[in-house]
């Protein structure tokens, strides 16, 4: 078996300081090592549905073991975990599956304008089919409250779908409070927990969640695998969106990718073991990075309240974010928002939804930290960003030398 080692905190092969963990995480070496056991001709590569021989039976057993690991991560029962190809499929299965099975009970879907495109585009598709979608607007801190949700619920609401942690600004939604209200109304509640799984404790029973989407590659596991939690003791059924087999309790057809599923299971196990320690480490690293910006005028955090450690959306006034990213692209990897929309040079819909102007949104970048960052990396990255901001402002006609100071509170 191949042994893989990687000194924690080392930059990748391109020598970059990686500050884009919200877009994707590197696969943990322990996860890679585990996955290799289920890929080659000497490994457990068989189809888990091939129950007629021992190799297929063994593949089925390790898939169930991984199901237990993911279930433990979120406080679920193993038989409530459905494997998918990623969070996008999990979200589509949850939203379309619930809506399809409840179309005779109403036509109203409640979500927010902060959501990932996987949710928003799915809701737009359903709106074209005649459903009515309400997208709640957040307050200036990027927060959706339980009172916002309560006020927007209707007698014909058939689904509420909200994210736990926003992928661009890191704002934390009070899912437990919202889940209680929605549950009392008898409405299914779906939660996008892609960004929170590696950063916050999750317990689907205590938080009154009916459906929850996860992604392997946002939690130090492989790309191409995800999971959907579907509450077992509920009257809400899911109509399958992929047909062609009876895998996953008939909810999702297709041959299960044993190596990827095992990888996601191992990643979940590592998070359960390390999350508290890593959150504390991230808080320290975040302060190291923010200290580099303390002397930069007209600089601020776009989300200051109820924010998860490690996702920082920072605005450098009078600095175009595309120009900034280009200026540091040889040394620092960061983004201006969601990776799924980064090819389109338009301001972040999340920042605009919070009330920022187009100019303010276009001056904002997202820095997201993770497991393999070091303090030395963050000091270097911060200094490089700081230098680039001053250089770009010196070339800007808009910059007038304002004396406003950095606000990280």
Average pLDDT over residues 159-177: 97
Rounded distance between C-alpha atoms, residue 237 and residue 80, angstroms: 12
Cα angle value 134/137/142 (rounded, 5°): 140
Residue pLDDT, tens place only, 199-255: 999 999 999 999 999 999 999 999 999 999 999 887 788 998 889 888 888 889 899
pTM of the model: 0.91
Chain centroid to CA 366: 14
Confidence of residue 408 (pLDDT cuts 50, 70, 90): very low
Rounded distance between C-alpha atoms, residue 171 and residue 54, angstroms: 47
Average pLDDT over residues 148-171: 97
| Confidence (pLDDT) at 87 | 97
225: Cα within 13 Å, side-chain hemisphere? 27
Three-state secondary-structure class, residue 332: strand
Read off the DSSP letter of residue 352.
H
Rounded distance between C-alpha atoms, residue 221 and residue 31, angstroms: 7
Rounded distance between C-alpha atoms, residue 178 and residue 160, angstroms: 10
Count the Cβ atoms, other than its own, within 10 Å of residue 16.
18
Count the Cβ atoms, other than its own, within 10 Å of residue 297.
17
Residue with tokens 């949850």: 94
Stronger pLDDT, 238 or 338, i.e. the higher one: 238
Rounded distance between C-alpha atoms, residue 378 and residue 108, angstroms: 45
Least-confidence region, from 16-20, 111-115, 138-142, 179-183? 138-142
Three-state secondary-structure class, residue 319: coil
| Confidence (pLDDT) at 338 | 58
Cβ atoms of residues 371 and 25 within 8 Å: yes
| Confidence (pLDDT) at 5 | 35
Rounded distance between C-alpha atoms, residue 198 and residue 205, angstroms: 18
> Nearest-CA neighbor of 342 among 354, 355, 333?
333
Confidence of residue 403 (pLDDT cuts 50, 70, 90): very low
Q: Active-site positions?
A: 340
| Confidence (pLDDT) at 402 | 58
| Confidence (pLDDT) at 7 | 39
Q: Look at residue 295 and tell me whether its pLDDT is greater than 50.
A: yes
Stronger pLDDT, 258 or 2, i.e. the higher one: 258
| Confidence (pLDDT) at 304 | 87
Stronger pLDDT, 170 or 245, i.e. the higher one: 170
Average pLDDT over residues 316-337: 94
Q: What number of helices (H) and strands (E) belong to the chain? A: 11, 12
Average pLDDT over residues 321-343: 83
Rounded distance between C-alpha atoms, residue 70 and residue 219, angstroms: 11
Average pLDDT over residues 130-153: 96
Q: What is the 3-state secondary structure (H, E, C) of 279-317?
A: HHHHHHHHHHHHHCCCCCCCEEECCCCCECCCEEEEEEC
Least-confidence region, from 173-177, 182-186, 220-224, 335-339? 335-339
Least-confidence region, from 72-86, 138-152, 388-402? 388-402
Three-state secondary-structure class, residue 109: strand
> Nearest-CA neighbor of 112 among 316, 349, 311?
349
Helix, strand, coil: what percent of the chain each, to 5?
40, 15, 45
Stronger pLDDT, 64 or 401, i.e. the higher one: 64
- Mean per-residue pLDDT of the chain: 91
Structure tokens at 27: 């696969």
Q: Look at residue 9 and tell me whether its pLDDT is greater than 50.
A: no
Q: Look at residue 303 and tell me whether its pLDDT is greater than 50.
A: yes
Rounded distance between C-alpha atoms, residue 363 and residue 336, angstroms: 9
Read off the DSSP letter of residue 58.
H
| Confidence (pLDDT) at 325 | 96
Stronger pLDDT, 307 or 253, i.e. the higher one: 307
| Confidence (pLDDT) at 220 | 98
| Confidence (pLDDT) at 2 | 32
Angle between helices 258-291 and 54-74 (to 10 degrees): 30
232-270 core/surface letters (b: 16 or more CB in 10 A; e: else): eeeebebebbbeeeebbeebbeeebbbbbbbbbbbbbbb
Residue pLDDT, tens place only, 35-92: 999 999 999 999 888 888 999 899 999 999 999 999 999 999 999 999 999 999 999 9
| Confidence (pLDDT) at 254 | 92
């Amino acid at each position: 078996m191949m042994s893989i080692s990687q000194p924690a905190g080392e930059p990748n092969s391109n020598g970059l300081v990686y500050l884009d963990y919200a877009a994707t995480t590197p696969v943990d070496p322990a996860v890679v090592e585990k996955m290799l056991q289920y890929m080659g001709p000497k490994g457990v590569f068989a189809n888990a549905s091939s129950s007629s021989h021992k190799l297929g039976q063994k593949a089925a057993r390790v898939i169930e073991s991984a199901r237990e690991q993911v279930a433990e991560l979120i406080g679920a029962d193993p038989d409530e975990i459905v494997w998918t190809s990623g969070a996008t499929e999990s979200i589509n299965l949850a939203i379309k599956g619930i809506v399809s099975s409840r179309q005779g009970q109403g036509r109203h879907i409640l979500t927010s304008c902060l959501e990932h495109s996987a949710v928003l585009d799915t809701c737009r598709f359903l709106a074209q089919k005649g459903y009515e979608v309400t997208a709640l607007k957040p307050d200036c801190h990027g927060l959706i409250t339980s009172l916002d949700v309560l006020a927007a619920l209707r007698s014909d609401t058939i689904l509420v779908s909200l994210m736990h942690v926003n992928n661009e600004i890191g704002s934390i939604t009070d899912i437990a409070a919202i889940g209680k209200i929605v549950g009392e109304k008898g409405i299914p509640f779906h939660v996008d927990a892609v960004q929170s799984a590696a950063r916050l404790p999750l317990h689907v029973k205590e938080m009154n969640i009916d459906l929850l989407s996860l992604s392997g590659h946002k939690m130090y596991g492989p790309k191409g695998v995800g999971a959907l939690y579907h509450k077992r003791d509920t009257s809400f059924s899911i109509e399958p969106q992929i047909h062609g087999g009876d895998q996953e309790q008939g909810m999702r057809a297709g041959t299960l990718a044993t190596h990827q599923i095992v990888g996601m299971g191992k990643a979940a196990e590592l998070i359960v073991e390390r999350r508290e320690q890593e959150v504390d480490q991230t808080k320290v690293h975040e302060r190291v990075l923010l200290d580099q910006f303390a002397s930069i005028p007209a600089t601020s955090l776009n989300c200051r309240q109820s924010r998860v450690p490690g996702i920082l959306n920072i605005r450098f006034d009078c600095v175009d974010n595309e120009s900034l990213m280009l200026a540091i692209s040889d040394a620092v990897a960061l983004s201006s928002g969601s990776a799924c929309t980064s090819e389109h040079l338009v301001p972040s819909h999340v920042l605009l939804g919070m009330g920022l102007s187009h100019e303010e949104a276009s001056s904002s970048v997202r820095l997201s930290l993770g497991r393999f960052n070091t303090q030395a990396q963050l000091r270097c990255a911060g200094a490089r960003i700081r230098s680039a901001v001053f250089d770009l402002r010196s070339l800007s006609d808009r910059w007038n030398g304002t004396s406003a100071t950095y606000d990280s509170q």
